[in-house]
Amino acid sequence: MNTRKLRDLIGTKTLLLITLFVSSLFFLIFILLLSRSLLVLESHSIIEVLFSSIWNPDAGQFGLAAIIVDTILVTGFALLIAIPISLLSAIYIVEYAPRRLRKTIRPFIDVLAGVPSVVYGLCAFLFLAPFVQNVIAPFFGAQSTGLCIFSAAIILSIMVFPIIISLCIESFDAIPLSLKEASLSVGATKWETVKKVVFRASAPSIIAAILLGFGRAFGETIAVNMVIGGTIRLPSSLFNPGETLASLIASKYGELMSIPLHESALMLVALILFIVVFLFYILGFLTLRRAKKRWKY
Amino acid sequence: MNRRTLEERLFKILMVGSVCIVIGSLVVIFGLVVINGASSLSIEMITQTPRPSVPGDPPGGGILNAIVGSLLLALPATGFASLIGIGIALFLQNDFLHPRYSDIIRFMLDVLWGIPSIIYGIFCLMIMISIGMSSSILVGMIALTLLEIPIITRSMDEAIKMVPKGLKEGAYSLGSTKIETAFRVIRRQAFPGILAGILLGLGRGIGDAASILFTAGFSNRLPTSLFDSTATLPTMIYNLYSTPLGQSKAFAAAFILLMIVLIVSVLSRLLTRRFKKHIIK
């Protein structure tokens, strides 16, 4: 009896320690990034770093504005394509598609959610970029090497599809049948039912899915790095090369680790990534809680 | 009435269109990797390490070092992350912690899941440099473990949440301690979900390049110790994609990576179904 109690005590304490350790990782990362980026913040004001678009490490200038604009463009454009297409596809798969198709599509989508981003990047570099260079850019009357913001956004949206779709399918499936039947029985068409019942009833999960898609698109490093071109200048069109926050770290870190001020600037970039993801999760958490109350069924 | 049916029809066309876009783009990517990968795959490719190129002679050899490196990094990392993950997931139940605290920890794990993997990479790199190590399998393994912990923990946690309350109460009423209940009853009942979580973590870990780009380094030789740097399949692709001569190797690596992800996913489905037989409904 006594040994069992002792074991219970030891086990509980061990689990507590492990849990505390992993939770502290959250703060550890934050503190380490912050302390490393202080160096650049001491010599440059945060305003200057965020709103100046001149990135010239040799002259000690670390303006992130161009990179931030590129990041917003790439992420925003990718989500703008991905969200409507994913939502419509998920609705089709759940509500309209024949049973057989539904059963084959779901495992397929799950596999795709797990395809590594380098694989997407490789395909984008070798096939999407030439396509953009030779067909899409001339179509819009622009000159482009194909390695540009547009290509990065397209490949990101393809990467985000399976994430949003699989989460949405799950939540659409979970809606009680009676809810849909009630709407159909008062004469609503199928699409009206989808619009006014299915979308609302699963609004919290849709928000969560979009948020997850945002996180993936915003933080994607390798695939973006392979196709965006790596130029730090304010873009004048979507067919200009650029650089996002995450891909900047990947392309610059290896070569410039030795210069403290530059390293510190890259740490600041990582810190910004961390803070933005954190803020978005808090925002998502709060919206989710409100939405759950609002659309309770 | 007419407007409504029109709207219905319009959106149906849009839906079919978007499904076609989604499936089309994904089939294209799969097809490209399989066609190009299979054609550049050979016995030499998977049994040899890269030969340094002589000028004028295409670089030969294979990608054995990347395959070995990927497995050496991802398998132990998944093992560690699963051990830690199952502990936390069981601990997050209400028996051990007040729901308020477990919800905070869940939220933090979600954020850790969401932060870009490159942050884990430079986090480990910073620690590595400050204690005077250089990029090696060990550091890469730690980076991958940290990356996988939130993924594995949260998916196990979701599976454990599904365990019926009665089962737990039954165990307690027979006099089990909390730890015994957690590890002997709940762990067994949630096993299919736990397994799925581990395989999800493995799939993510083996394909991630950003976290091991700087921590595991790159090398053309097979690693001989834990402190050697090594190539992995993702970093191999990342290093070779832009050189015309290296593209066949990049595609071979992408093909193998895709196959591993596919096998892990199928395995997850089969095993989950197999072990579901043993759980109490």
- The complex scores an ipTM of 0.88
A125/B242 Cβ within 8 A: yes
Q: What percent of chain B has pLDDT over 70?
A: 96
Q: Give the whole-angstrom CA distance, residue A106 versus residue A87.
A: 15
Mean pLDDT of A36-43: 84
What pLDDT, on a 0 to 100 scale, did the predictor assign at position B180? 85
Q: Across residues A181-210, what is the average pLDDT?
A: 86
Centre a 10 Å sphere on the Cβ of residue A82 and count the other Cβ atoms it contains: 27
Q: What is the percentage of chain A residues whose pLDDT exceeds 70?
A: 97
A158-172, B34-48, B105-119, B140-154, range with the lowest pLDDT: B34-48
Q: Which residues of B are less than 8 Å from A192 in CB distance?
A: 4, 7-8
- Mapped onto helix, strand or coil, the DSSP state of residue A152 is helix
CB contact under 8 A, A118 and B12: no
- Write the burial class of residue B75 (CB in 10 Å: 0-12 exposed, 13-18 middle, 19+ buried): middle
The answer on pLDDT for B56 being more than 60 is no
Residue of B nearest to A118 (CA): B234
> Which of B96, B102, B118, B263 to mutate to probe the A interface, most A CBs <10 Å?
B118
In this predicted structure, what is the pLDDT of residue A256?
A: 60
| Helix (H) or strand (E) run with residue A61 in it | strand A61-62
Contact A219 B116 (CB under 8 A): yes
For residue B99, give every residue at least 6 positions away whose Cβ sits within 8 Å of its Cβ, in sequence order, or none: none
The secondary structure of B184-229 as a DSSP string is IIIHHHTHHHHHHHHHHHHHHHHH--TTTTTTT---SS---STTS-
Kindly report which listed range (A31-40, B1-10, B52-61) carries the lowest average pLDDT score.
Answer: B52-61
Res B138: pLDDT: 92
Q: Does residue B236 have a pLDDT over 70?
A: yes
Phi, psi of B110 (to 5 degrees): -65, -45
B281 pLDDT band, cuts 50/70/90, is low
Q: Which of A1, A4, A6, A123 to mutate to test the interface with B (most CBs of B within 10 A)?
A: A123
Is the CB of A15 less than 8 angstroms away from the CB of B90? yes
**Residue B186: CB atoms within 10 Å:** 21
Contact B117 A253 (CB under 8 A): no
**pLDDT at residue B227 above 90?**
no
Is the predicted pLDDT of residue A11 greater than 70, yes or no? yes
Residues of A in contact with B7 (CB under 8 A): 189, 191-192
**Which pLDDT band, with edges at 50, 70 and 90, does B149 fall under?**
very high
A6 pLDDT exceeds 70? yes
Q: Tell me the pLDDT band of A113, cut-offs 50, 70 and 90.
A: confident
Size of interface A-B (CB pairs under 8 A): 230
Contacts of A220 in chain B (CB under 8 A): 116
Residue B209, CA atoms < 13 Å, CB-side half-sphere = 33
Residue B87 near chain A (CB below 8 Å): yes
Q: Name the DSSP letter for residue A231.
A: -
Q: In A, which residues are within 8 Å of B269 by CB distance?
A: 107
Mean pLDDT of chain B: 86
Q: Is A231 inside any structural domain? A: yes
Q: What pLDDT sits at residue A109?
A: 85
**Which of B15, B40, B112, B218 best probes binding to A when mutated, by most A CB atoms within 10 angstroms?**
B15
Output the pLDDT for position B255. Answer: 92
| Top-confidence range, A249-258, B78-87, B176-185 | B78-87
Tell me the pLDDT tens digit for each residue of A283-296.
888 887 877 777 66
Say which of B15, B183, B247 has its CB closest to residue A96. B15
Please check whether residue A267 lies inside any domain of the structure. Answer: yes
Q: How confident is the model at residue B59 (pLDDT cuts 50, 70, 90)?
A: low
pLDDT at A297 over 70: no
Burial of A176 (0-12, 13-18, 19+ CB in 10 A): exposed
Beta-carbon separation of A119 and B258 below 8 A: yes
Chain B interface mutation, best of A19, A157, A167, highest count of B Cβ atoms under 10 Å: A19
Closest CA to B90 of B212, B235, B197, B203: B197
Mean pLDDT along residues A11-39: 89
What's the sign of the alpha-carbon dihedral A161, A166, A171, A176? positive
CA–CA distance, A100 with B230 (Å, rounded to integer): 45
Q: Is the pLDDT of residue B249 over 70?
A: yes
Percentage with pLDDT > 90 across chain A: 20
Q: Tokens representing A3?
A: 């040994």
* Burial track B237-253 (b if 16+ CB lie within 10 A, e otherwise): bbbbbeeeebbbbbbbb
Which residues 173-212 of chain B have a CB within 8 Å of chain A? 177-180, 183, 200, 203-204, 206-210
B243 at A interface, C-beta within 8 A: no
CA of A227: which chain B residue's CA is closest? Answer: B242
Q: How confident is the model at residue B52 (pLDDT cuts 50, 70, 90)?
A: low
User: Could you tell me the CATH number of the domain that includes residue A161?
Assistant: 1.10.3720.10
Query: What pLDDT does residue B221 have?
Result: 82
Point out the residue among B17, B234, B261 whose CB comes nearest to the CB of A111: B261
Q: Between the CA of residue B263 and those of A23, A111, A113, B269, what are the distances in Å? A: 32, 10, 14, 10
Please count the structural domains in chain A. 1
Mean pLDDT along residues B235-244: 85
Position B54 scores a pLDDT of 53
Residue B243 is predicted with a pLDDT of: 80
The DSSP call for residue A97 is S
Q: Parallel, antiparallel, or unpaired for β A55-56 and A61-62?
A: antiparallel
Verify whether the Cβ–Cβ distance A115 to B207 is below 8 Å. Answer: yes
Q: Which residues from A are below 8 Å from B84, CB to CB?
A: 18, 22
Give yes or no for residue B85 having a pLDDT over 90: yes
The stretch A201-215 carries a mean pLDDT of 86
- Identify from A31, A110, A222 which residue to disrupt to test chain B contact, counting B C-beta atoms within 10 A and taking the largest count: A222
Provide the residue range defining the domain that includes A139: 66-294
Asked if pLDDT for residue B32 goes beyond 80, the answer is yes
Is residue A39 in a domain?
Answer: no
Average pLDDT rounded to a whole number, residues A203-217: 86
The whole-number pLDDT of residue B140 equals 92
C-beta atoms of A222 and B209 within 8 A: yes
